[in-house]
Amino acid sequence: MLKRFLSLEDFKLFLSSLTIVSLFFSAVVVGGQAYAATQTTTLTVTVNTALTFAIDNNAGNTAFPAIDPGTPVMATTTLQVTTNDVNGWTVALAGDDQGTSNTVMDLTTDASVGLTDQTEWVPGTATTSVGNAVQIGSLDNSGDVLAFRVMSASGSVPFRSTSWWGSQDNYLTDSANTLWAGIASSTVSRNIGNAGAGSYSSSVHLNTVQYYLDVPASQQSGSYTGALTYTATAN
């Protein structure tokens, strides 16, 4: 076919070019393989697995600003996870003193008085499966609850889940793309983040947990405190 477009001399030149380039590329490929074939020394070592987990906020305490009933407030906690285990890690969250008959945050002078919690978080079977988080407009108790979410538009990619928390981080704005859930009880700590083997990275994985809080006008005034525990394990 080339003969139709090239003269005989040009066709011979083309074949010469093809031959020269083929020899050159073959030499590069074979030479690389031959070089590799001579590198047969094998050294072996076993690297032990390790996991580091830390929170970064005011030495372990998160304070809300003073709240007026009907005006929700926010606070945050930043999490850092690092591991060299290729199977990745899982992070769970639970309220230390939270249960069906007890709230996460109680009045410091009377533990029987507490701030209402949103329905406990139940994750999907995978970070790509929907959980039971809802937007602000669908929160229990007309939005007068303590709720949380993990940021999904910022932070390390393996630590994000748009299926669980929505695709946007709208601060205190009622949006179907920003979902919130209640803090799980200490008897059934629930996963809030997971980096499986497919998304593993040896670098530090960071993300921030946002807390949402609003109270009704009838909420007893005073200082309320609570304790949370973030747990990290390898997969």
Partner 1 sequence: MFRFKSKYFFAFLPCVVLVVGVFFLPRFIDAATGLTIRPVKVSHTIKPGESVSGVIHLSSASDGEPINVEASVEDFIPVAGAEGIQFVGRAPGVTTVRDWIDLGGKKVFDLKQDEQVEIPYTVTAPENAEPGSHFGVAFFKATRPDSFGEGGGLSIGTRIGMLILITVPGNHLQKGNILGFTGPAFVQKAPVDFQIKFENTGTVHFEPKGTLTLRNMFGSEVGRVPIEGQTVLPTGIKDINVSWEVKGWLLGRYSATAVLYDGEGVAVTTGTITFWVIPIWYLLGFLVAVLVLFVILRWLKRRVRISLVSP
Counting contacts by CB under 8 A, is residue 45 touching partner 1?
A: no
One residue of 53, 135, 162, 168 binding partner 1 per CB under 8 A: 53
Residue 204 CB, shortest distance to partner 1, in Å, is 11
Alpha carbon separation from 168 to 78, 128, 179, 213 (Å, rounded): 17, 16, 9, 19
One residue of 3, 52, 111, 130 binding partner 1 per CB under 8 A: 52
Binding mask 168-187 for partner 1 (x = CB under 8 A): ------------------xx
Counting contacts by CB under 8 A, is residue 23 touching partner 1?
A: no
One residue of 57, 135, 162, 167 binding partner 1 per CB under 8 A: 57
Residues 6+ apart with CB under 8 A from 135: 166, 174, 175, 176, 177, 178, 179, 180
Strand partners, 94: 229
Residue type present at position 55 = I
Counting contacts by CB under 8 A, is residue 13 touching partner 1?
A: yes
Counting contacts by CB under 8 A, is residue 10 touching partner 1?
A: yes
- Angle among Cα 42, 43, 46 to the nearest 5 degrees reads 135
Integer Cα distance of 134 and 130 in angstroms: 10
By CB under 8 A, what part of segment 118-157 binds partner 1?
125-126
Residue with tokens 């309320």: 224
With respect to partner 1, which residue has the nearer C-beta, 58 or 202? Answer: 58
With respect to partner 1, which residue has the nearer C-beta, 75 or 176? Answer: 75
Counting contacts by CB under 8 A, is residue 99 touching partner 1?
A: no
Give the end-to-end CA distance of the chain in Å, rounded to a whole number. Answer: 60
By CB under 8 A, what part of segment 184-203 binds partner 1?
186-191, 194, 196-198
DSSP output for 78-89? EEEEEE--TT-E
Counting contacts by CB under 8 A, is residue 43 touching partner 1?
A: no
183 DSSP 8-state letter = P
Alpha carbon separation from 166 to 25, 169, 181 (Å, rounded): 51, 8, 12
Residue 176 CB, shortest distance to partner 1, in Å, is 26
Counting contacts by CB under 8 A, is residue 14 touching partner 1?
A: yes
